[in-house]
Structures are given as C-alpha cells and as structure tokens.
Amino acid sequence: MKVSIVGGSGYVGGEVLRLLLCHPKVEVQQVTSEKNAGDFIKIIHPNLRGITTLKFCSIKELKKCDLLFMCLPHGTSMKNIENLKKLAARVIDFSADFRLKSAKEYERWYKHPHTAEKLMKDFVYGIPELHRAEIKKAKYIAKAGCNATCTILGLYPFIKAGVIDMNMPIVAEAKCASSEGGNKPSIGSHHPERTNCLRSYKPAMHRHCAEMIQELNLKHIDFSATSVQLVRGILVTTHVFLKKKATDKDIWKILREAYGKEPFIRLVKEKQGIYRYPEPKILAGTNYCDIGFELDPESNRLIILSAVDNLMKGAAGQAVQAMNIMMGWEETTGLEFPGMHPV
C-alpha cells in the first residue's frame, strides 16, 4: 500500500516515517516539508540514515496514494483537508482539528472557529481500545492527543465499570516530556531554561481536557500538566474516589475485563523491583500503555497511574495501530518491539 506523509519534518512526522519504513505492508511514496523541500530526509531525521534515500517534497508535488498521514499544526489540517482528501481514499490526521465532535466545543478550547465543521462527523476518534469497531470501517481517523490518550486509557475501565463516585472531583496530573512541544525552538525550550526544570505549564484548562470529557462522557475533569526532564514520555497520576470500598482484587478484575486481550496495554503493579508502577522511561520507542494503581484505604481513593511514550502510543504508534485495524491487517504489525533498558 502506498502512503505519504504531509508535514514530515517534525518529531511526530519523523516517528511515523520511522515506523512506516519498516512496515512490511507499506511503501512510503512521498514526505512533505515546505521548509526542507529538496533536502534528503536523513538531514532532518539522522536516525534514518541508510534506511531511506527519500527527499522531502513540497505539498504541491503530492501525488495520489492509498493513505495520507497528515502531521500538520493545529488549525492547518482543516484548511487543507478538502484538497488533500482528494489525493487519498483514507486519511489519518494528527492535529486536534477533527478530534472533537462539536464545533462549539472546538472553538471553546482552541479559541478560533472551526472552518470544516461538516467534516467533523466523518472522523473517528483514534484510540483503538475504545473505537476498534468504528476504526475498522473508517476512512478518516483523528489521532488522539497524547495527554488525552494516557489519561483516557487509565480512567476508561473504571468509568465503564461505574465504580467511581461522580459527585467527587476527578483530578489528573501529567508529567510531560519536552518533545511534546515539537521541534520549533522557543525561550522555554532553550537548554539553560529547560534543563533541571519541573515546570507547571498548564495547571488548568489544558486543551486535551475536551477529548477526555467527550470520550469518557464527563461533565468536567481537573487536569494539570507539568514539564519534566524527559525527552519522551508521559506519566499521568489520576485520583478518583470510589462509591464503595474495594480491594486490589476488585481493581485487578476491572482492569483485566477491560484490557485483558489488548495487545498494547500492560497492567503493572509489582511487589518487587524498582519499576513497581508504570514508568515512561522503559516505554521509550514502544507502542505500549502501562497502567497501574494503588488504593488508599484511609479515603477510599483510587490512584491510577498510566504511562506512554508521547511520540508513540501518544502519536505515531497509535496511528499505525489504527491503520492496521483500518486495513484489516494484524493489529500489531510493525509495532512489535519492547522498550530499551537501561536508557
């Protein structure tokens, strides 16, 4: 199958390309970058030296293909979607433009109107663990936000099981790696300013809350995001209060019922070792989401810990997983590798 990538010079575009170049059922036809058109891809993505001799091209040079990955900035996809979807029968979009079902909610969270409102209903939200059946039939997929993915996957089993006291607040805190900010430098990403920081950059009203509310059917979620000294990775710690007392066995049962057959969900709660709970470090480069928990008997509080590589399960890996489902291939194709240890 011939695929092309629009906007392939960023971290996410490069990660999609890395996966697709090694995918046994895919041929990468073109990769666009307006700034780097004409340059060898290996100049921007040096990890792909010897893997590909492709050069970046302009979006104006795109030819028809079977599937198009759109790795464009937020607000750009919806401006280009009408023209780009003429080039491919299937589209996977990485921006936030088609994740939400309501143009009103989009404007509320992104502070500008949606310019392709009629197409919003055509996109399936791209978390396979929630929407596998719809993805199988989809032509257009909106890849979920990385923080949203990590938070939703942790919370989903307990929302589904109906064990959370919804009269109490749901509080989630994400520790986020620097690659979430993309590859465009800023004063905040400047090495002397970024190094050794624990920077709370979005204590409230993070845009990904809109996805969490939509997908989990919540009225509200109290979510905060903090930058930590990682290049890749997200660790979300979510606090909920249960309707009644529960044991570890009860929580394990809920998680296993939801995720027991999921190829990319690992349940982590060890009694020994230093990696007793989910840890983003050992997920770097993988498509796994690790989920663990702890019960606080004093307050009937359940602490849910979920971790992903933001560029993989939070972005490129999730998209390739969705592509595999969409095409009827084995879901794990091109994604079957563990993380490295130590790193």
Q: Where are the domains of the chain?
A: 2-144+312-327, 146-308
Q: Which residue type is seen at 25?
A: K
Q: Does the CA dihedral 312-314-316-319 come out positive or negative?
A: positive
Amino acid residing at 226: T
Cα torsion 74, 239, 200, 193: sign: negative
Amino acid in position 83 = N
List, in sequence order, every residue forming a beta bridge with 140; answer none if it has no partner: 91, 123
- Second CATH level (architecture) for the domain 2-144+312-327: 3-Layer(aba) Sandwich (3.40)
Q: What is the pLDDT of residue 63?
A: 98
Query: What integer pLDDT is reported at residue 340 of this predicted model?
Result: 87
Cβ(114)–Cβ(75) below 8 Å: no
CATH superfamily of 146-308: Dihydrodipicolinate Reductase; domain 2 (3.30.360.10)
CA-to-CA distance for 201 and 341, rounded, in angstroms? 29
Q: Which of these, 92, 87, 93, 94, lies nearest to 62 by C-alpha position?
A: 87
3-state secondary structure of 322: helix
Count other Cβ atoms within 10 Å, centred on residue 54. 18
* Residues contacting 222, CB < 8 A, separation 6+: 169, 170, 171, 172, 204
The maximal CA–CA distance of the chain, rounded, in angstroms, is 62
Determine the pLDDT at residue 190: 86
pTM (two decimals): 0.97
Q: Judge whether 2-144+312-327 and 146-308 match in fold.
A: no
Secondary element (H or E) of residue 191: helix 191-194
pLDDT score at 194: 85
Which H or E element spans position 29? strand 27-31
Q: What's the pLDDT at 171?
A: 98
Residue 146 appears among annotated catalytic residues: yes
pLDDT tens-digit profile, the chain (343 residues): 999 999 999 999 999 999 999 999 999 999 999 999 999 999 999 999 999 999 999 999 999 999 999 999 999 999 999 999 999 999 999 999 999 999 999 999 999 999 999 999 999 999 999 999 999 999 999 999 999 999 999 999 999 999 999 999 999 999 999 999 888 888 888 889 888 889 999 999 999 999 999 999 999 999 999 999 999 999 999 999 999 999 999 999 999 999 999 999 999 999 999 999 999 999 999 999 999 999 999 999 999 999 999 999 999 999 999 999 999 999 999 999 999 888 8
Handedness of CA 15, 16, 17, 22 (dihedral sign): positive
Q: Which residues pair with 27 in a beta bridge?
A: 2
pLDDT of residue 197: 87
pLDDT given at position 257: 98
Side-chain-facing half-sphere of 259: CA atoms under 13 Å: 23
Residues 266 and 282 sit within 8 Å (Cβ to Cβ): no
Name residues whose C-beta falls within 8 Å of residue 77's C-beta, 6 or more positions apart in sequence: 70, 93, 94, 95, 97, 98
The catalytic position among 57, 71, 146, 176 is 146
